[in-house]
Every structure is written in structure tokens, then in C-alpha cells.
Amino acid sequence: MLKELVTGCRSYRRFYEDTPIPYEELVDMIDTARLTGCTANCQPLKFKILHTKEECASMFPNLTWAGALKDWDGPEEGERPSAYIVVLCDLRIAKNKQWDEGIASQTIMLSATEKGYGGCMIGSCRRSDILTLLGLSPEEFSVSLVLALGKPKEEVHLVPLGKEGNTAYYRDENQVHYVPKRSLEDILL
């Protein structure tokens, strides 16, 4: 069951932009992440939901999509995320948060998958511009990750790594997205 959920929890980058995620469902994803373990139980992470059309439009220019797809600049209008959850660290509580943000973010992505949505973690983003957009001080907050969310409009398949060992994801002529994963034998020491 968990393995199925994880298998379905792929990085999606094209969405039915007009399909919203109800605000309460976004809040519930964060409430699930709230229950995860974290370093010394400090709980420094804070979360900001952006879900109106205006909020989503203001976040989009701050994000970099699919670095491995050189001929694609990211989702076009109509295929963009219908919500974002910005994962932030409250620096007044703790600065040592790199494991916490990964655990919380993956928990949110799994929760989104369970609810029938999908998305993409975005680490490549304009952090200081995002803090300005959110009206937050860099002395008090750092941006960990932006979680782009929506109703996926694309097919993503896991495939074994080719003989050449290239891990770069790619798309075919129908825009089906393929993600090479190392085999179990390759990672078991």
C-alpha cells in the first residue's frame, strides 16, 4: 500500500490549471506533515498556502522547471499548478532543518497523491523574491522548498537505468515523461 503510494507520487509538472485543490485539503496535507519527526523535536518549519489565481500567478515566475529538459521552459498557461505550499524555516526557532524539510515535504507530496493530486518539489527558486512576495523577513525566515500542486495532466513512468547509466529524465514525442531509477541490486551494499 505504501509502496503503491510512493510509486504514484511522481514529479508532475503539467496540470489541469482550472481544477482547484480545496483549501481544507491543502491544510490537511500540512496537518499530516505536522505529525512527522524532526531534529530535536524543534519543529521550526512553517507553511504558506498560495491557492488563488492571483497568488499562483505571482509565485510562478520565481520557479525553475525541469532542468534536464533543455527545450522546455516549464508549464504553459492553462497547465500551471493550481496551488503551492511554500515550506519555510522559522530561523527564530532553529537553523538546522535540512532533514526536517525533506521529511515534511515528502509527507505533503504523499498526502497530495493520496487525495488524487500531484505535484513537484521545487528547490530551484528565487528565495529572496519569494520572501518579499510573502512579506517575510530574511532575518526570521528562509525558504526551504516550494511544493507546486495540482491535478496532473501528464503521464510519468519509472524506467530502469540504461546501460550508459544516465539518470536524466526525458520525454517522448507525445510528452510522456520517463524517470530512470537505479535497480535494487545497484543500491544494496
> Within positions 150 to 179, which residues make up the interface with ligand FMN, using CB under 6 A?
156, 169, 179
Contacting residue, 30, 85, 86, 122, with ligand FMN by CB under 6 A: 122
Q: Does 7 bind ligand FMN (CB under 6 A)?
A: no
Contacting residue, 22, 61, 78, 123, with ligand FMN by CB under 6 A: 123
Q: Does 110 bind ligand FMN (CB under 6 A)?
A: no
Q: Classify the phi-psi angles of 17: left when phi > 0, otherwise alpha if psi is within -120 to 50, otherwise beta.
A: alpha
| Residue 68 vs residues 90, 127, 179: alpha-carbon distances, Å | 32, 21, 11
CB of 181 to ligand FMN, least distance (A): 7
Contacting residue, 10, 48, 80, 97, with ligand FMN by CB under 6 A: 10
48's grid cell: 504558506
The burial of 51, by beta-carbon neighbours within 10 Å (0-12 exposed, 13-18 middle, 19 or more buried), is given as: middle
| Structural contact between residues 121 and 67, judged by C-beta atoms closer than 8 angstroms | no
Stretch that binds ligand FMN, among 6-14, 24-32, 37-45, 48-56 (CB under 6 A): 6-14
The span from the CA of 187 to the CA of 85, in Å, is 32
- Chain positions contacting ligand FMN, by CB under 6 A: 10-11, 13, 64-66, 120-124, 145, 156, 169, 179
